[in-house]
Amino acid sequence: LEGFDMEHTKAALKKLAQWHAASAVRVEIKGPYPKVVTDGLVNEEFLKMMEEMGKSMTALYMECVRMYEGHEEYYDSLKRNRENYADELRPLLKIDPNEFNVLNHGDFWANNVMFQYDDAGKLKETYFVDFQLTRYGPPINDLYTLLLSSTTMDVKLKHFDYFIKYYHDNLIEYLKLLKYPKKLPTLKEIHIAMLKYGTFAVNTVAGHLSIVLLEPTETANMANIIGDSEDSIALKKAMYTNSRYRKHIEALLPWLYHRGAF
């Protein structure tokens, strides 16, 4: 999969803005979502498990990073971020009631977005599937996951700020339509949150992006992605060093480093 082009990215962002706006208004009308919905998978127990699993995965990933062109600039900072994955993420999981919060899809990448076309092949509608990882908080998780893991290389960074503006325009439109009673989030506030929650972006490019760009293979399954067998190690090396992933990651890591994400 090469990723979504401009048209499909905008369609996904428009539908995401509708989903986020509806969830924000729902909380104001009916109160908080149940904890099982708001917390999702990423809780303290999950972070402890990831700390244990992450030791070997981080070492392997950083070994692969040494192959990337220009890695010398950011290698040490990225290594600290990956080795302290849970500590970096933990404070970002606490809900700030003063921020604009929504129900994130939580796993908003290409595999969970479906498009419908009319008889002429024109894009007609967009649907989401797989709501198992929802999490209440700023809309940043969904935005980073979609824009960094599931877009084509020619639009990913060149139009990143445009996509945030497009999302924000649609978000405001639907919040007004649904009569959201609180202060509307500004574009500046969305951008500030994108910087504050930069660790989500690092997780996306080390995780979802490597899966999206991997050529289909019999060993590509969840057991091997999180395991440490010979097949698992070979798979992860293929994920992190194949030419398609390197093309994206060699542009993304310096960009994220310069934004202060790690």
C-alpha 179/C-alpha 167 separation (Å) is 18
pLDDT reported for residue 1: 67
Name all domains of the chain by residue range, CATH numbers in brackets. 6-258 (3.90.1200)
C-alpha 247/C-alpha 7 separation (Å) is 22
Half-sphere exposure of 195 (CA within 13 A, CB side): 9
pLDDT reported for residue 202: 97
pLDDT band at residue 219, thresholds of 50, 70 and 90?
A: confident
Q: What is the pLDDT of residues 178-218, one digit of tens each?
A: 999 999 999 999 999 999 999 999 999 999 999 999 988 88
Residue 42 has pLDDT above 80, yes or no: no
Q: What is the pLDDT of residues 220-255, one digit of tens each?
A: 887 787 777 898 899 999 999 999 999 999 999 999
Residue 106 has pLDDT above 90, yes or no: yes
Mapped onto helix, strand or coil, the DSSP state of residue 4 is strand
Q: What is the pLDDT of residues 122-149, one digit of tens each?
A: 999 999 999 999 999 999 999 999 999 9
CB 26 within 8 A of CB 135: no
**What percentage of the chain carries pLDDT values higher than 90?**
79
pTM of the model: 0.93
pLDDT reported for residue 102: 98
